Amino acid sequence: MDLSGKRIGIGITGSHTTFHLILPEIEKLIEAGAHVYVFVTHTMATVDSPLETAVNRMEKIRQLTKNKVITSIIDAEPFGPKYPLDAMVIAPMTGTSLSKFAQAASDSPVLFAAKSTLRNENPVILGISTNDALGLNGTNIMSLMNMKHIYFIPLGQDDPHSKPRSMVAHMHLIQDTIKKALEHKQIQPVFVPYTN
């Protein structure tokens, strides 16, 4: 599957410790010829982390994509009917956003764009990063796995001894997962040992 000319949305939620894994994958998508639009939650847009400031984070994205970072639902709205995305990736996707998405909430630019993409019957790809994947959020993951047009970046336990319920997606497989999802297929296997 050629990604040249494809309109790919990247939704980034508040998993600050895995943010650094996303930028190289965005760069790869751009190098593959995709038009990349980044949507962020309020947390990613405004909250500083021990690793970097929110301002620095947003500037990195702007410089990489050469597009405005979508930080409001109003700015996300045209990506539904007017300028539909070919695929929407949410990575990293926190347990909070996962829980909201499983309940059809759209209270952030990321979730709004994802729901718009589903409405257009285009794939939404989820890159989980949560300490609760094998806890209460396990039911949300299984529920979403059973839904049409939703696909998962392969994921695994990142620290099974210290954090036995935590799972993180293999972010380096974003592009491969998108290609399969555009063919309406789930990349396999979904659950794999964590090596990022």
196 pLDDT band, cuts 50/70/90, is low
Q: What is the CATH number of domain 7-182?
A: 3.40.50.1950
With a CB cutoff of 8 Å and minimum separation 6, the contacts of 150 are 118, 123, 124, 125, 126, 144
Gyration radius from the chain CA atoms:
15
1 pLDDT band, cuts 50/70/90, is confident
With a CB cutoff of 8 Å and minimum separation 6, the contacts of 53 are none
Give the chain's mean pLDDT: 95
Do 114 and 124 form a contact (C-beta atoms < 8 A)? yes
pTM over 0.75: yes
Q: How far is CA 174 from the centre of its chain?
A: 9
Residue 131, classed as helix, strand or coil, is coil
Cis peptide before 109 (omega within 30 of 0): no
Which of 59, 68, 74 has the alpha carbon at shortest distance from 38? 68
Q: What is the arithmetic mean of pLDDT over 129-138?
A: 95
**Is pLDDT above 70 for 25?**
yes
**Is pLDDT above 80 for 87?**
yes
| Chain segment 34-83, per-residue pLDDT in tens | 999 999 999 999 999 888 999 999 999 999 999 999 999 999 999 988 99
